[in-house]
């Protein structure tokens, strides 16, 4: 790829007869340059070798082929073939996810990232690439950022999944605790804000990050892998939350019906709906060990009048416990301030409280870097 780019750079100025051909070559050169630049956006110590690039490229090509075969087998209702292809897909998919890297993407990153993310974003789609760049991409010193799970290939970095992040500061109470219910809950406002300079929280505040939209890619389960890595990457230094829509709820309860309900009735209805285990967004987050931190009501928002803050623990064992409860019998793990709503609706839940969250984390943080706040503890109640 580098030799081809160097050759294209030496193309002479076009005459009128060869102008269209020149434009095609110029477009190809731009694509190659963007692909090369995307590989340089991978942190230096993490970059793939030539052999790994070749292996990733071959694996992705094979994965795509098997996925197409699987679709055909499902259409033909060939169960044995579906099972065999599914197992092959899982094996290669796991290898691809293992090879993928967590990458920060900014406005200055290769346009290859921007174009892939813009094309794949579906939940909070923006009309133009220009607006997308202005509202989704900040930098290390701003309050908005973008993380991707990227796979290095011969054609540049392929985005397997991407997530958009908003940094906020939460006030602590008199005991020094930050509360789930204080996390911002209006996605309509948050997603349309342009990045601004962000200063880390002071002693009476707590840094938090909100994942407000996620996009997929060509490899299954990449979103799950991305969220898991991010929860581990932040390592308890900040509170990690999503701000997630619950749009399938409106197939059961029309949006207009909520205008006639009290806040208490809405929260009870939402918890009852989530306890059925049918909502795809909830299944994604709760099935991966998140906790319901809050239910937000914004009836003036025509698209997402109700949103959920799903909280991700930095502790993998905690996440495994909550995931097991939900995947086993759809038991919801909820913040303490939601306990009363669940009980009133007759829903059995696991309540995440201050006492069963803090001790293990405090022990970890006291031995951690001084850059982390070893005194921070958050509670649900």
Q: For every one of its 381 residues, what pLDDT tens digit does the chain have, with 9 covering 90 and above?
A: 444 444 444 445 545 455 455 445 445 445 555 667 678 788 777 888 999 999 999 999 999 999 999 999 999 999 999 999 999 999 999 999 999 999 999 988 988 899 999 999 888 888 999 999 999 998 888 999 999 999 999 888 999 999 999 999 888 877 777 788 888 898 888 888 899 999 988 888 888 899 988 888 899 999 889 988 887 777 666 788 899 999 999 999 999 999 999 999 999 999 999 999 999 999 999 998 999 999 999 999 999 999 999 998 877 888 888 899 898 888 999 988 898 999 898 988 888 754 333 323 322 322 222 222 222 232 332
Q: Residue 40: how many CB atoms within 10 A of its CB?
A: 12
Residue 342, token pair as written in the block: 């669940």
Q: Residue 42: how many CB atoms within 10 A of its CB?
A: 16
Residue with the two structure tokens 């290939």: 153
Q: Tell me phi and psi for residue 58, to 5 degrees.
A: -65, -40
Query: What pLDDT does residue 31 have?
Result: 53
Radius of gyration in angstroms for the set of CA atoms belonging to the chain, rounded to a whole number? 23
Q: Residue 376: how many CB atoms within 10 A of its CB?
A: 21
Judge whether 329 and 254 are in contact, CB under 8 Å. no
Query: What pLDDT does residue 255 have?
Result: 95
Q: Residue 258: how many CB atoms within 10 A of its CB?
A: 20
Query: What pLDDT does residue 29 have?
Result: 47
Judge whether 72 and 230 are in contact, CB under 8 Å. no
Query: What pLDDT does residue 33 have?
Result: 58
CA distances from 279 to 77, 117, 244 (A): 26, 24, 12
Alpha helices in the chain (DSSP H): 2-9, 19-40, 50-75, 79-99, 111-120, 129-136, 187-191, 222-234, 263-274, 280-286, 316-329, 339-344, 358-366
Judge whether 271 and 332 are in contact, CB under 8 Å. yes
Q: For the chain, what is the largest distance between any 2 Cα atoms, rounded to a whole number of angstroms?
A: 78
In DSSP terms, 327 is beta-bridged to none
Query: What pLDDT does residue 160 have?
Result: 95
Residue 185, token pair as written in the block: 């809950």
With 0-12 / 13-18 / 19 or more C-beta atoms within 10 angstroms meaning exposed / middle / buried, residue 288 is: buried
219 three-class SS: coil
Residue 101, token pair as written in the block: 């890297």
Q: How far is residue 22's CA from residue 28's CA, in Å, rounded to a whole number?
A: 10
Query: What pLDDT does residue 247 have?
Result: 94
Q: How far is residue 338's CA from residue 295's CA, in Å, rounded to a whole number?
A: 8
Cβ-Cβ contacts under 8 Å for 264 (sequence gap 6 or more): 341, 344
Residue (of 101, 141, 45) closest to 229 by Cα position: 101
Query: What pLDDT does residue 180 have?
Result: 84
Judge whether 205 and 268 are in contact, CB under 8 Å. no
Tell whether the torsion through CA atoms of 56, 51, 40 and 155 is positive or negative.
negative
Judge whether 242 and 211 are in contact, CB under 8 Å. yes
Q: How far is residue 126's CA from residue 30's CA, in Å, rounded to a whole number?
A: 25
Rounded to the nearest 10 degrees, the angle between the axes of helix 111-120 and helix 19-40 is 90
Residue with the two structure tokens 């701003």: 142
Q: CA-CA-CA-CA torsion for 84, 86, 87, 93, nearest 10 degrees?
A: 150
CA distances from 357 to 127, 282, 317, 335, 342 (A): 42, 21, 12, 11, 20
pTM for the model stands at 0.78
In DSSP terms, 197 is beta-bridged to 142
SS (H, E, C) 114-143: HHHHHHHCCCCCCCCHHHHHHHHCCCCCEC
With 0-12 / 13-18 / 19 or more C-beta atoms within 10 angstroms meaning exposed / middle / buried, residue 129 is: middle
Query: What pLDDT does residue 355 have?
Result: 30
């Amino acid at each position: 790829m580098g030799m081809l780019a160097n050759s294209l750079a030496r193309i002479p100025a076009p005459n009128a007869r060869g102008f269209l051909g020149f434009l095609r070559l110029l477009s190809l050169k731009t694509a190659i340059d963007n692909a090369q630049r995307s590989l340089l956006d991978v942190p230096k110590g993490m970059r793939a070798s030539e052999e790994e690039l070749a292996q990733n490229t071959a694996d992705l090509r094979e994965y795509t082929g098997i996925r197409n075969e699987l679709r055909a087998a499902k259409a033909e209702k060939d169960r044995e073939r579906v099972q065999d292809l599914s197992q092959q897909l899982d094996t290669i998919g796991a290898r691809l996810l293992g090879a993928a890297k967590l990458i920060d993407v900014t406005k200055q990153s290769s346009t290859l990232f921007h174009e892939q993310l813009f094309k794949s974003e579906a939940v909070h789609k923006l009309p133009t690439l220009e607006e997308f760049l202005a509202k989704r991409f900040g930098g290390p010193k701003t309050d908005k950022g973008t993380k991707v799970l990227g796979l290095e290939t011969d054609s540049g970095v392929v985005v397997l999944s991407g997530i958009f992040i908003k940094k906020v500061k939460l006030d602590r109470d008199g005991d020094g605790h930050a509360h789930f219910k204080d996390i911002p809950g209006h996605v309509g406002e948050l997603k349309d804000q342009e990045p601004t300079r962000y200063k880390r929280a002071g002693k009476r505040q707590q840094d938090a990050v909100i994942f407000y939209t996620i996009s997929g890619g060509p490899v299954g389960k990449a979103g799950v892998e991305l969220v898991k890595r991010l929860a581990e990457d932040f390592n308890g230094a900040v509170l990690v939350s999503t701000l997630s829509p619950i749009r399938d709820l409106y197939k059961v309860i029309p949006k207009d019906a909520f205008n006639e309900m009290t806040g208490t009735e809405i929260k009870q209805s939402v918890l009852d709906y989530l306890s059925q285990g049918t909502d795809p967004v909830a299944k994604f987050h709760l099935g991966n060990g998140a906790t319901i931190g809050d239910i937000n009501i914004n009836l003036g928002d025509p698209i997402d009048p109700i949103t959920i803050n799903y909280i991700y623990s930095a502790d993998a064992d905690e996440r495994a416990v909550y995931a097991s409860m939900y995947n086993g019998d759809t038991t919801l793990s909820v913040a303490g301030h939601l306990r009363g709503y669940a009980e009133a609706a007759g829903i059995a839940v696991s309540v995440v409280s201050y006492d069963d969250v803090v001790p293990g984390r405090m022990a970890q943080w006291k031995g951690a870097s001084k850059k982390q706040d070893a005194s921070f503890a958050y509670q649900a109640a």
